[in-house]
Structure 1
Amino acid sequence: MLSQNDTGLIIVDIQGKLAEIVHQSESVIANATVLAKGANCLGLPIVWLEQNPSRLGATTASLSDALGDYQPIPKMTFDGCGADAFNEAIEKAGVK
């Protein structure tokens, strides 16, 4: 069972033109935006990743706006765990 004390949200690579052309992209972006708004309302930590943003573009604007004061963690590896900043953010958040 999820508990507010040990639950957070991770947003991964919903960015650039690619986010707009994946299957059912409007639903994916809308659902991720709802999740981000809900996490913010509940005070849950959010960790937000962007894959090579200088080449692939920034997170979709509507989602980025919903993420509030959180800042994206850029990564150059496909696996988020390859980015030290990601691992540090998860540890700092204290969630499972």
Structure 2
Amino acid sequence: MKKKEDEEVESAGLAGLVLDLQPRLLDSVAERNALAGSVGTFARSMVVLGVPLCLTEQVPDKLGPTEEGILTACGEAPCFPKDSFSAFGCGEFEEWISANGVEHLLLAGIETPICVYLTAVDAVRRGMAVTVLVDCVGCRRPEDGEWALRKMEKLGCHLLPLESLLYAILKSARHKEFRSISALVKDRPA
């Protein structure tokens, strides 16, 4: 299901993915701490909103596990090891997508021009809507990330900052989780 430009963000069929936030990769990323803080806020928000969430780890036997703070923020979210650059190269991830009826994938993690990009391409090819959270992705060379984001947008992916996405899901201050999400946003590192 491709997302039209003017279509609202609906929580049905929505899921979040945190890609490869392992310290050995994260430590080489520009603005590492800001990225980790933003992804932590994304993960906690998905847990509060009840949006399915999972993580991937790139060859964890060589690169180690996901950063502890991110794992904690993700709650009980499953974590899938992979050796492919696209998350869709991992059979367990594909099973999780199917089991959760995912139609719209929210992407956070690293690296923007590699694993984030290739996962977005594969999701679009499968007819899914994709939103790349621009303040929740990063890479070693920011200019490479910018080119990858441009290409993802041309493919039909939506590019949004986290706060825009969260308030689009809430739709109103009457949402039962408005206060919780507002508190997470206010506590978010600048």
What range describes the TM-score normalised by the shorter chain of this pair?
over 0.9
**% identical aligned pairs:** 26
For the pair shown, the structure with the greater C-alpha radius of gyration is 2
Q: Compute the TM-score of the two structures, normalised by the length of structure 2.
A: 0.49
Aligned equivalents of 2:27, 2:67: Cα separation in 1: 8
Compare the two structures and name the one with the higher strand fraction: 2
Match of 1:30 in 2: 37
Comparing 31-40 and 73-82, the one that deviates more: 73-82
2:100 to 73, 86, 93: 93
Cα displacement (A) at 1:69? 1.0
Query: TM-score by structure 1 length?
Result: 0.94
| Alpha carbons 1:15, 1:59 under 8 Å: kept | yes
Runs of 4+ residues deviating >6 angstroms? none
Instruction: State whether residues 47 and 90 of structure 1, in contact with CA within 8 Å, keep that contact through their aligned partners in structure 2.
Output: no
Aligned pairs, number: 96
**Whose relative contact order is higher, 1 or 2, with alpha carbons under 8 Å and at least 6 apart?**
1
* 1:14-93 superposed matches below 5 A: 14-93=21-100
- Residue 50 of structure 1 contacts residue 72 of structure 1 at CA under 8 Å; is this kept in 2? yes
Residue-by-residue CA offset, 1:31-73 (whole Å, 9 max, x unaligned): 1100000000000001211111110011111111011112210
Q: Secondary structure at the match of 1:81?
A: helix
AA aligned to 2:57 is E
Counterpart residue type for residue 65 of structure 2: A
Asked if 1:12 is matched to 2:22, the reply is no
Q: Which ranges of structure 2 fall in alignment gaps of 5 or more residues?
A: 1-7, 104-190
The whole-number CA distance in structure 1 between the counterparts of 2:100 and 2:24 is 30
